[in-house]
Structure 1
Amino acid sequence: MASQLLKIHPSDNVIVALRDLPVNADVAWAGSHYSLPYGVSAKHKFVTEDIETGGAIIMYGVLVGRASQPIKKGEPITTFNLKHDSQDYSTANRQPYSYVQPDVSKWEGRTFRGYHREDGRVGTYNYWLVVPLVFCENRNVLIMKDAFERELGYAQTDIYREHVRDFLHLYQNGDLRTIKSMEAFTEREPVRKKQERPFKNVDGVKFLTHEGGCGGTRADANTLCALFAAYAVHPNVAGITVLSLGCQNSELKTLEDEIKKRDPNFNKPFFAFEHQKGTEYSLMSGAIKETFMGVAKINEFERSDAPLSKLSVGLKCGGSDGFSGISANPVLGHLSDIVVGLGGQTLLAEFPELNGVEQELLNRCVTEEKAAKFEKLMRDYAGKAEAVGSAFAFNPSPGNIKDGLITDAIKSAGAARKGGNAYISDVLNYTERATESGLQLVCTPGNDVEATTGQTAAGANIILFTTGLGTPTGNPICPVAKVATNTTLANRMPDVIDFDCGPVVDGTQSLEQNAEALLEYVIRVASGELTKAQQLGQDDFIPWKRGVSL
């Protein structure tokens, strides 16, 4: 029988309930017995000793909060008796760090089928990208999107339009009663028809929209250009079309300069069109013609074998629960250590969700210079939040708290486990490109889409996204695979979840076994197997304006 309890770190003074524990239950862990005066729901924690007001709560071996009132042995921690607190940190206090790299010999020689680019990187998909430099061009981008996707076979099956059509037919025949009673109709599994695609080697033409480029600060406009430049040089992008109004803050020259900064030898097809030089028709007809010719050109690329060292794996969590730091996140951590051991890249983002584990991460940085960069980015970010009356401590959502993540430090300590144990080879600011192998920290918000948008800009060619509550987040050019922390979620949302880490909680698989099964899945996705988010057309894209976003 699987255990009901888990104590994560020897120094912890809380124990996690893996099952619902009733009032007055007597439970045991490592020779100690606990009588529970209150019920403890699965994913929540109870204390192993009496805690006085102001006493420290330790979980994952780090400070995650302080008691706001006395907590008796066996009582659960809640928002009523616990307040966020975390360990201070400093580059000056760095301690020696070492870790034992896992044995990766069984993965050496393994390959995935990707698209080799002239800069040496390998794409997991082959996309053409269409972007507006300013929100004024969103309508034109969406018109192009409708035309290209429908005519080239990339459009999603319009099952919901079929719903409306069926309902309209019933309404026109005076049958509103039937619509009201059609529960089975609304719950039936949709059939998504696969369309014929004339360009077999082009995985899609992707169209981005946004609300920026003008009217905000010049810094925001320049950051937007840097973000688009990062997407242009991304290995999953083979060519790009840019629509510009002409007078906006996000200038075409700035975009071109940012591209050259990231890739001085950039030679992908690049077409730019300015609206103010003529009519909408001339803009659109020219953009459509050149884009079509570009798509035909990149259709010449074909997948071929690439070593696993060419993987760049984004590590992300969202809709987290009390099992995130126990199952899915440490599974990603072990996978990250394997990929790093093979010479690949892994990218850990979401700086507000590294709150409380900064010192450990500083210790793991390969140089003091990189540690200092991480410290500065964290302090600047936290300072901006505090300046507007917020703080990293406000990060947990109501859903996080309900499912056991009582403080941001608890959430962060579990979230950081996605980064495994490897040394941190580099620290990247938002829109900076990853050029080193190994584990890297990427400055992004915790916001799901802002984070995946930023990880993709850093160069992730696949993102693993752990979730305990369920979230459909995707990205236009980087496949995002959803990894469930528990089997209940995987069964409840099978159209969203790609991989289940529930066996780690159930005790039917070890963390290492589950991680290796996940890596096999990553290889299949990198070779062209579509994630659920890709199947749903979940192309989420939100630029971060570098303001306060947690």
Structure 2
Amino acid sequence: MLENGVKRLVIKMHPNDNVLVALTDLAKGETVTFEGQDYILADTIKAKHKFYTADLKQGSEITMYGVLVGKVQSDIAKGSLMTTDNLKHAAEPYQYRDVDFTWQAPDVSKYKNRTFNGYKRSDGRVGTANYWLFIPTVFCENRNLDVIREALHNELGYSVSDKYTQYTHYLLEAYKNGEDLDSIDVQLTPDQNSNRVFKNVDGIKFLNHQGGCGGTRQDASTLSALLASYANHPNVAGITVLSLGCQHLQIQDFITDVKKQNPAFDKPLLVFEQQQAKSEEQLVADAIKKTFEGLVEINKYERTPAPLSELCLGVKCGGSDGFSGVSANPAVGYTSDLLVGLGGKVLLAEFPELCGVEQNLIDRCTSEAVATKFIDLMQSYDALAHKVGSGFHMNPSPGNIKDGLITDAIKSAGAAKKGGTAPVVDVLDYTEQATKPGLSLVCTPGNDVEATTGKAASGATLILFTTGLGTPTGNPICPVIKVATNSVLAKKMSDIIDIDCGPIISGEKSIEEMGEDILEYCIKAASGEIIPKAVSLNQDDFIPWKRGVSL
């Protein structure tokens, strides 16, 4: 970052913090001057890591982002590197306290008349894509889904494996000719999807899963609600359901949940039950034929202009690093505030990654009922984790820690920045639908795929996914946009990254400027003008949460 034209070496995330974040590698013994204070570094401090700004006694509290994030485990010298050995997780207790919260929305005048081109559904919601969805009610049907996927994707132009098929062909020919395989250098050509038969069908998606039977009835019930929410999603135009017949999750249970969520549900819904079919071959053939006929119909749908208030934006981080809370997450947070200011919906999930910032979120809740629901969900979730010898404090992964996220509270305080600063209008349990404009909290694990699966279930029509280490995660029905925290990652993994927030670190752009750039990308992605990398790569990750302990 630049300050008065000079490259800034460190940054303080909040005036009350007693740690500084290195924006570049700093050498042991180097003197760093910040806000008139000199710090002689006691250790080498790599970029993204932190050092203490004062001599500290054992038990001293460490503050970052203005909140308690840990306590030191021994006497620490000023300028020392923060590590897992000298700092352990700590967070403030929280409660509802009826704070008079006021919010100043950002200036959104330039976006007031902006629209995106989406698919308007009969229930009034607007999709950012037009998908046909295959749903198995039980894992026994996964094999049939795989067969159908291969047939439809290959023939209708949705496969992304052609380049790898060609590469394997070259290897096979070389092997047959006795050539050295290491000498084979074939450039993989990107798939263009130019041979799609149905131009207005953005994809045929498949929700393979491992549930529906064999677990508890509660697991089957939760799965049914999840699958129903995907069938009801505005990005879905038609559904094919495959059932075995004898499983816990019965077809009628699923249909009941669909109607419960949306009494006016009127999408094409094709159901095939294997134990009632003449043969597996006939089941698959019938499913392909009827689905093909359905694709012909939904291909007639056209995109039409819709106000930005119809967007529902999920915000997620994964493979986070020490810059996540400095660049990408605050930038996405500004995008979130812009969308809330325009009357849209924003979904912030990952409850284990809200540990330490609960009080801030509670104080922003628009009613005591909303705050109480959040408190109850957080406490019951954390209690389940402790019951099995874990806890939210064990959330950071080895990759997180290696890149500067030492405690869960540090990770959480930076992660919460994605949700911006707006009031919390609602708290949604897993699979509950977002209905209120504004910022809602959604109860999901921090696990990347379980969280994106849950956001889509609550109605997200786009997901902004920030990453500092690189995470190849997507979703079958909700386009996932990857936002890099740093330019090194954006260049190294350019095949999966859509937006680079590195200019914030270098000082070339402000958080607000980057946030506006991200919103512009979202408008184009929602209109089908830009295809996010996760979509073009068919990164269709889907993992239902069984409501057990998953961090």
Structure 1 position 162, deviation (Å): 2.1
Match of 1:80 among 81, 85, 96: 85
Preserved CA contact (<8 Å) 2:163 2:188: no
Match of 2:216 in 1: 217
Whether 1:539 and 2:540 are equivalent positions in the alignment is yes
Structure 2 residue aligned with 1:312: 312
1:492-503 mapped onto 2 (5 Å cutoff): 492-503=492-503
Secondary structure (helix, strand or coil) at the match of 2:215 reads: coil
Aligned to 1:343: 343
Q: CA deviation at 1:402?
A: 0.5
- Paired residue type of 2:222: T
Question: Which of 92, 95, 109 is the aligned partner of 1:90?
Answer: 95
Give ranges in structure 2 of 5+ residues lacking alignment: 1-5
> Cα deviations across residues 53-99 of structure 1 (Å, max 9, x unaligned)?
111000000000000111111111101100011111112x3433222
Shift of 1:244: 0.5
Distance in 1 between residues matched to 2:342 and 2:67, nearest whole Å: 30
Q: Please give the TM-score of this superposition, normalised by the length of structure 1.
A: 0.97
Query: Residues of 2 paired with 1:106 and 1:463: CA distance?
Result: 23
**SS at 1:439 equivalent:** strand
Find the residue that maps to 2:285 and give its secondary structure: helix
Residue equivalent to 1:452:
452
- Distance apart, 1:164 and its partner CA: 2.0
Counterpart of 1:144 in structure 2 is 148
In 2, Cα distance between equivalents of 1:25 and 1:98? 43
Cα distance in 1 for residues equivalent to 2:188 and 2:405: 33
Shift of residue 348, structure 1, vs aligned partner: 0.3
- Determine helix, strand or coil for the equivalent of 2:191: coil
> What's the counterpart of residue 261 of structure 1?
260
- 8 Å Cα contact 1:316-1:465 kept in structure 2: yes
Q: What's the offset of the Cα at 1:2? A: 2.3
Q: Is the contact made by 1:94 and 1:359 (CA closer than 8 Å) also made in structure 2?
A: no
Matched residues in 2 for 1:181 and 1:59: separation?
Answer: 52
My pick for the range that moved more, 343-352 or 249-258, is: 249-258
Partner Cα separation in structure 2 for residue 403 and residue 189 of structure 1:
32
Matched, 1:64 2:65: no
Q: Please give the secondary structure, in 1, of the residue aligned with 2:39.
A: strand
Which residue pairs with 1:2 in the alignment?
7
CA distance in 1, matches of 2:541, 2:436: 27
Q: Check conservation: 2:444, 2:454, Cα contact below 8 A.
A: yes
Partner of 1:166, secondary structure, is helix
**2:19 counterpart of 1:14:** yes
Once the two structures are superposed, residues 107-156 of structure 1 have per-residue CA deviations (whole angstroms, 9 ceiling, x without a partner) of: 00100110001111100000010110000000111111111111111111
Distance 2:308 2:287 in 1: 37
3-state secondary structure, aligned to 1:365:
coil
Q: Is this contact kept in 1: 2:158–2:193, CA < 8 A? A: no
Superposition map of 1:82-481 within 5 A: 82-91=87-96, 93-176=97-180, 179-182=181-184, 185=185, 188=187, 190-278=189-277, 279-481=279-481
TM norm structure 2: 0.97
- Which residue number in structure 2 is paired with residue 548 of structure 1? 549
CA distance in 1, matches of 2:536, 2:288: 25
Contact 1:329 1:414 in 2 (8 A): yes
For the 8 Å contact 2:356–2:409, the answer to whether it is kept is yes
Q: Match for 1:233: what amino acid?
A: N
- What SS does structure 2 have at the residue aligned with 1:541? coil
Aligned residues: 544
Cα deviations by residue, 1:162-209 (Å, 9 ceiling, x for unpaired): 222212211211123xx2245xx27x4533243422212111111120
Q: Secondary structure at the match of 1:99?
A: coil
Judge conservation of contact 2:241–2:271 (CA < 8 Å) in 1: yes
1:521 is paired with a residue whose SS is helix
Is 1:351–1:445's contact at 8 Å kept on the other side of the alignment?
yes
Aligned residue type for 1:228: L
Paired letter, 2:449: V
**SS of residue matched to 2:28:** coil
Alpha-carbon contact 1:474-1:538 (below 8 Å) kept: yes
In the alignment, the residues of structure 2 paired with residue 346 and residue 384 of structure 1 have an alpha-carbon distance, to the nearest angstrom, of 27
Determine if contact 1:130/1:205 at 8 Å carries over to the other structure: yes
1:39 corresponds to which residue? 44
In the TM superposition, residue 161 of structure 1 has moved relative to its aligned partner by 2.3
Measured in 1, the distance between the counterparts of 2:81 and 2:42 equals: 9
Q: Using the alignment, how far apart are the partners of 2:446 and 2:229 within structure 1?
A: 20
Separation in structure 2 between the aligned mates of residue 144 and residue 167 of structure 1, nearest angstrom: 27
- What is the DSSP-based 3-state SS (H/G/I as helix, E as strand, rest coil) of the residue aligned with 2:343? coil
Q: Select which of 32, 52, 56 maps to 2:57.
A: 52
What letter matches 1:248 in structure 2? Q
Distance in structure 1 (CA, Å) of the matches to 2:498 and 2:404: 24
Distance between the aligned counterparts of 1:360 and 1:195, measured in 2?
A: 48
CA contact (8 A) 1:28 1:34 kept: yes
Q: Say whether the 8 Å CA contact 1:128–1:205 is kept in structure 2.
A: yes
284-293 or 99-108, which deviates more? 284-293
**Distance in 1 between residues matched to 2:119 and 2:192, nearest whole Å:** 27
Query: What are the Cα deviations for residues 321-364 of structure 1, in whole angstroms up to 9, with x where unaligned?
Result: 00000100000111100000000000001000000000111111
Q: What is the rounded CA distance, in whole Å, between the counterparts of 2:29 and 2:37 in structure 1? A: 16
Describe the SS at the equivalent of 1:50: coil
CA distance in 2 between counterparts of 1:339 and 1:191 reads 33
Give me the whole-angstrom Cα distance separating, in 2, the residues matched to 1:116 and 1:465.
25
Identity %: 58
Residue type matched to 1:224 in 2? Answer: L
Matched, 1:491 2:491: yes
CA-based RMSD: 1.1
Where in structure 1 are there 5+ consecutive unaligned residues? none
The CA distance in 1 between the partners of 2:82 and 2:101, in whole Å, is 32
What's the CA shift string for 1:259-305, capped at 9, x where partnerless?
11111111111111111112213322222222111111111110010
In 1: Cα distance, 2:317 partner to 2:509 partner: 21
- Measured in 2, the distance between the counterparts of 1:285 and 1:530 equals 31
Q: 1:190 to 1:379 in 2, by over 3 A?
A: same
**Matches of 2:78 and 2:160, distance apart in 1:** 55
Q: Secondary structure at the match of 2:7?
A: coil
What amino acid sits opposite 2:430 in the alignment?
A: Y
